[in-house]
Amino acid sequence: MWRLDRASCRTVMLGLALGLVAPGGVDGAADGDRDDETEAPRVVAPDVPERGVREMRLEEIWRVGGEDDETVLLGLVGDVEVGPDGNFYVLDTQLSQVQVLAPDGQYLRTIGGPGEGPGEFTRAMEMAFLPDGSLGVAQAFPGRLVGLLPDGSPHDNVEITGGPSGGFAFLTSVRQGGGVTLVSTTVLSYDQDAGQTVVRPEIFSCDPDGRRKVSYWRNEFRIATGVKDKATEALFDTPDRRYAVGADGRVAMAPARNEYAIHVYDRTGRLERCIERPHESWRRNAMATSYARFFAAQIGRAFQVKHVVLEETEPDIAELRWAPDGALWVMTSRALYQRAPGVFCEFDVFSPAGRYLEKLRVMLDADPRLDLLLFPDSDHALVVRGYMDAQLGLMGSRRHGTAKDEAQPLELVCYRIL
């Protein structure tokens, strides 16, 4: 039961935005690891957590969108942030705007909008409140954090460049915590001597001017004319969904696709520890393989690769999240897709020191194959109902077996964490 999540959509949208890649196949790839990963202590977690299993209960407090809401129209909700004013800021990737909702869900205003002028953006999947209090909307290309103040006034943009080697920089995600801002980018350049397009994805922290501070992960591969006509799905994998920044500026990342291995860094970028746990990768079933095949076809078309060879398993780590108390929440693909009745998803919870404390089950009547769960702060959970269908619709497709007009309007539901 594979879901086309935000990371997959970002990759597809990135490829569709390129128009720069020469036709052909892929040559080589770096391992994507930092040089210092062997210098930190390894923490191998036991099979059973210290405190056993705990359930998270949720209480609905409001919902917007859907068929009956004539005030709030939603296209594709890419991200939701709670601002310093306590309001909810809802990024709509399809409509290229941010709707501001009061704590009780009442519509307040719309800020931003499609275009290239001050405070305007296109193809944005994520956003974050930056250390200066402004909202930075991660526009894919030209890669920049488009600046907005909470009242909608334009603010300074943070330009993301191709770095010392140059090239076109595409921005796919942003995280901020404790004054530390991380971005995920892909830089493309052309090697004229080799006749190859060089693709360099990277996740790094940046200063208020967009300059690189610490590189947490990077990779490189090349797409060349007439060399090969196929590539592996894993080649296009990045930790775009598998990193998080805590309130104290610490960073957690799962760099490897097929490993339960999480690297934890302090706010300066120093590797503190590597948390590992015995884990069996989740083997895709027929439905999961079908969705993965669709995703791979989109990637192949975007990068002009004729055939993308599928992996047999899902990535071991599906998502990471820092809790306000400094605990690290880890969601595996197996825990997401093999669920007990009434459970939306399950997290492994680690203490700030790396001890395996408990399994946390989110009890929710929703379907993780179709809906997206977000935690904008410590008190609320949000579910984007119909996320999968809206995402597929944005790419001109729909789920197998559904009629063209069967998809329901997107709905955003807010819950209080009990």
Tell me what pLDDT residue 415 has.
98
Fill in the DSSP letter of residue 235: G
The encoded tokens of residue 138 equal: 């991660």
Tell me what pLDDT residue 407 has.
65
- Does residue 1 fall inside a structural domain? no
- Does residue 292 fall inside a structural domain? yes
Fill in the DSSP letter of residue 41: P
Residue 5 predicted with pLDDT over 80: no
Tell me what pLDDT residue 344 has.
95
What whole-number distance in Å separates Cα of residue 120 and Cα of residue 144?
11
Tell me what pLDDT residue 9 has.
53
- Does residue 158 fall inside a structural domain? yes
- Does residue 66 fall inside a structural domain? yes
| Structural domain boundaries enclosing 171 | 6-417
- Does residue 296 fall inside a structural domain? yes
DSSP 295-328: HHHHHHHHHT-SEEEPPSB--SEEEEEE-TTS-E
Mean pLDDT of the chain: 87
In this predicted model, which residue has the larger pLDDT, 415 or 35? 415
Confidence of residue 359 (pLDDT cuts 50, 70, 90): very high
- Does residue 244 fall inside a structural domain? yes
Tell me the CA distances in angstroms from 191 to 26, 121, 345, one per residue in order: 14, 30, 44
Tell me what pLDDT residue 19 has.
43
Flag the least confident range among 5-19, 41-55, 102-116, 188-202. Answer: 5-19
Tell me what pLDDT residue 24 has.
39
Confidence of residue 286 (pLDDT cuts 50, 70, 90): confident
Tell me what pLDDT residue 386 has.
92
For residues 281-307, average pLDDT: 84
CATH number, domain with residue 403: 2.120.10.30
Confidence of residue 389 (pLDDT cuts 50, 70, 90): confident
Number of C-beta neighbours around residue 95 at 10 A: 17
- Please count the structural domains in the chain: 1
For residues 250-267, average pLDDT: 97
Tell me what pLDDT residue 31 has.
44
Tell me what pLDDT residue 303 has.
74
- Does residue 375 fall inside a structural domain? yes
Overall pTM > 0.85: yes
Rounded to a whole number of angstroms, the distance between the first and last alpha carbons of the chain is 28
